[in-house]
A and B are shown apart, each in its own frame.
Chain A
Amino acid sequence: MSSVAVIRARLTAYAPLLAQVPDSRIVAGDIPLNTAFPAISITLVSSTPLTNMAAAAAGRMNVDQVQVTVLAKTYPSLRQILALVLAACGNTRGTVAGFKVDSILPGIEGPDFSDDEVKFIAGSRDFTVKWIST
């Protein structure tokens, strides 16, 4: 949850993104039913603690993969919002959302996918978040 909170904090602090997707539609976890589009879902893909020899939990660096999924009504809107997501999450070091962050690095942008019945188009971008547990 920590890295998801970090990414959400970065997204909701970026005004150009908020102009397209309001704060209430940038969600940690699954997007609730009946949410208007565009909307953004932030989920944890994996979390790997880097264990040193002493194997202590405090002060441990964690390497998380976080997926940001954008659901939009049109393809141009999807592309624009994904670009804003990337811009919002530039490498950051310091305290973000109460967590000690080492770095945020962009990962793979995933394939486009769509649903003709529900009428949305979606895409995602992964981020690698390294943070220090207390």
Chain B
Amino acid sequence: MADIESVAGTTIAICATIPATFDQAGYESTDLVFTTIGEITDGGEHGREYALITHNPISTRGTRKLKGSFNEGSKTLQLAIDDDDAGQLILKTALTSDSDFSFKVSYPGGGKDYFQAKVMSFKKAATSVDSIRSASVTLEITTSSGGVGIVEVAGS
């Protein structure tokens, strides 16, 4: 039975392979092997946002609104740096690549979100003696040529 849940137990994984189809079957194909990105402390947010188009005909005072193009947005991950973490090493490879990488967010209740993104930045921080050496990673989520962005899979 679906219910609210906390973030504890959520994992984010990365794969260098693009799915053959941008749907659940494509992302869950055995051709895609996802590697969990370790030590993530903040998974950021992701979601579609539509551009607002407004229209003000001079005959009325009302503003008409329409939805325009959409953008799947960006997602910023906060993590503690682990130089031996396989997922973090793939992130660094993605940083220097112009290619899209596949990502999978797995929620504690079984739900998953899949998307394609480019890794736009991997910024390291060493702020104080009591802080953990960390990094901020920015993902720009893209859509397929067919306009498919984030693929949501409901939990059981």
Contact = CB atoms under 8 A, between A and B. Distances in A.
Interface string B1-30: 000000111111000000000000000000
A54 B132 contact: no
Given A61-B132, A105-B129, A54 B80 contact: no
Chain A interface main SS type: loop
Contacts of A128: 130
B152 interface: no
A55 interface: yes
A59 B7 CA distance: 19
Contacts of A34: none
Interface string A76-100: 0000000000000000000000000
Contacts of B80: 52, 61
A13 interface: no
B141 interface: no
Interface in B111-156: 129-130, 132
Contacts of B8: 51, 53, 55
Interface stretch (B37-45, B48-56, B57-65, B90-98): B37-45
A61 B12 CA distance: 20
B132 A53 contact: no
Contacts of B39: 52
A53 B129 contact: no
Chain B interface main SS type: loop
Residue among A54, A59, A61, A128 having the largest count of chain B Cβ atoms under 10 Å: A54
A52 B12 CA distance: 12
A19 to B, nearest CB: 31
Interface residues of A, number: 10
A2 B12 CA distance: 31
B127 to A, nearest CB: 15
Interface in A42-71: 50-55, 59, 61
A52 B129 contact: no
Contacts of A105: 129-130
A53 B39 CA distance: 7
A128 B131 CA distance: 13
Interface string A104-126: 01000000000000000000000
A131 B13 CA distance: 26
A91 to B, nearest CB: 9
A54 B9 contact: yes
Contacts of A53: 7-12, 40-43
Nearest to A54: B11
Interface of A: 50-55, 59, 61, 105, 128
